Structure 1
């Protein structure tokens, strides 16, 4: 039996519990002792972060051999054409080598809360949303992938890791799941903490 914590990490919160520079950390969101992230999410990215105190569960989630699918909602600059989407689907060349094929589809602007601070818009350049699913975990991979096709990422929200999603979790909120493999997890939801400084 293991407990997994699903956190909807806000924008500009470090994926760690302490910071010598005084930046916002996970300690301002979740006060469960002894847990640590299973994987990472960039300071300027939002969405699902998994945490646990169980080393074996952490390994099962993060090890490359598991090839856990990770899904992102990505707001990009401009409107990628079919050729650009095909490139993402087949894999693009990055400085550290080609990416694996990704699942990609266009999204109608999803119903997501406002970001603080908001995305800076330029009237002359439209934006659009994509849903991108990958099975790798390279540093800033999705951002580098969209840049490679000429459409820089403006906002990045991870919505799913394997079978776990942020559905029903507001930004800053978390819930716990007690995993009784292979039975259905028991869930307990928690609202965001008040007064988080960002």
Structure 2
């Protein structure tokens, strides 16, 4: 079984109760499924859950290089040249992030309201970026954009490999068949 869940902001990626936040148990009444990877509490978007341990490992382990697509709303207005360090691999201190595919995009269509909304500054614009990475280290995308001078205000994981959020409402999940790999 494979579930694609559109995780809201402030939901913790665990089934056990949490003292401050909602958890997966509040949204997914399916027994014996586990997250293949995680998504920070302050991030939104695609989380894959499965009851298949081998599939869970394949989807979440870095050696399998599953490409993850993120939409990041950043503070400021980067030019294409500002994104070059992200495309070349940026040194984050404890590791050097592998080169990312990154481009400026329009605000994603059909984007849901976030509660609470991001902080907005009257005289500082925001820009949406699409980043594709095959790593998934702790807070990696946020750290990468901050390192190049454009802090992430909102982060949405849109896709993992062949799976994406299309047609999945916020806080909802879909059961899908595993897509065959060649």
TM-score of the aligned structures, taking structure 2 as reference length: 0.95
User: Is the 8 Å Cα contact of residues 17 and 23 (structure 2) preserved in structure 1?
Assistant: yes
Q: Which runs of 4 or more aligned residues in structure 1 lie more than 6 Å from their structure 2 counterparts after TM superposition? A: none
User: Which residue is equivalent to 1:60?
Assistant: 58
Q: Within 5 A, what are the aligned runs for 1:141-152? A: 141-152=140-151
Q: Which one of the candidate residues 101, 121, 124 is aligned to 1:103? A: 101
Larger Cα-atom Rg: 1
User: Which residue is equivalent to 1:24?
Assistant: 22
Q: Within 5 A, what are the aligned runs for 1:91-130? A: 91-111=89-109, 112-130=111-129
**Match of 2:177, SS?**
strand
Number of equivalences: 181
Q: How many Å separate the matches in 2 of 1:81 and 1:50? A: 33
Q: Which runs of 5+ in 1 are unaligned?
A: 183-198
**Match of 1:105, SS?**
strand
Change (3 A) 1:68 1:19: same
TM-score of the aligned structures, taking structure 1 as reference length: 0.88
Q: Which runs of 5+ in 2 are unaligned?
A: none
User: Is the 8 Å Cα contact of residues 162 and 179 (structure 2) preserved in structure 1?
Assistant: no
Q: How many Å separate the matches in 2 of 1:22 and 1:148? A: 30
